[in-house]
Amino acid sequence: MSSEATRRVPMIALRELVDRYLSLALTFGVPVSLFSFALSAAETERLFSSFDEDYHISRFFHFSKDIGTPFSINGFPVTHVAIDAEILSIL
């Protein structure tokens, strides 16, 4: 596997990420600080950038920049993510 392919493999599965999101947000559509996912900065940036690069997944993710620790998601500084309930259709 190339180093680029290794970089694109998420360290946690989408289902686990959605479960973590729901435990923090309590319902879909609520912005949650990326810092709240309790991953290192590098892991947070790799994980969310990887999911953001996949059209079938990224359409359910809504990144925003608010007060908090910014992370670089595919080159854009963001602090929060909200996930649509429709993501359940691909899990």
pTM, 2 dp = 0.88
Closest CA to 38 of 16, 62, 8: 16
Note the pLDDT tens digit of each residue in 23-62.
999 999 999 999 999 999 999 999 999 999 999 999 999 9
Note the pLDDT tens digit of each residue in 4-26.
444 555 689 999 999 999 999 99
CA–CA separation, 65 vs 52, rounded Å? Answer: 15
What's residue 3's pLDDT? Answer: 45
What's residue 10's pLDDT? Answer: 61
| Beta-bridge partner residues of 61 | 83
Domains of the chain by residue range: 3-90
Angle value at C-alpha 10, between 7 and 13, nearest 5 degrees:
170
CA–CA separation, 28 vs 9, rounded Å? Answer: 25
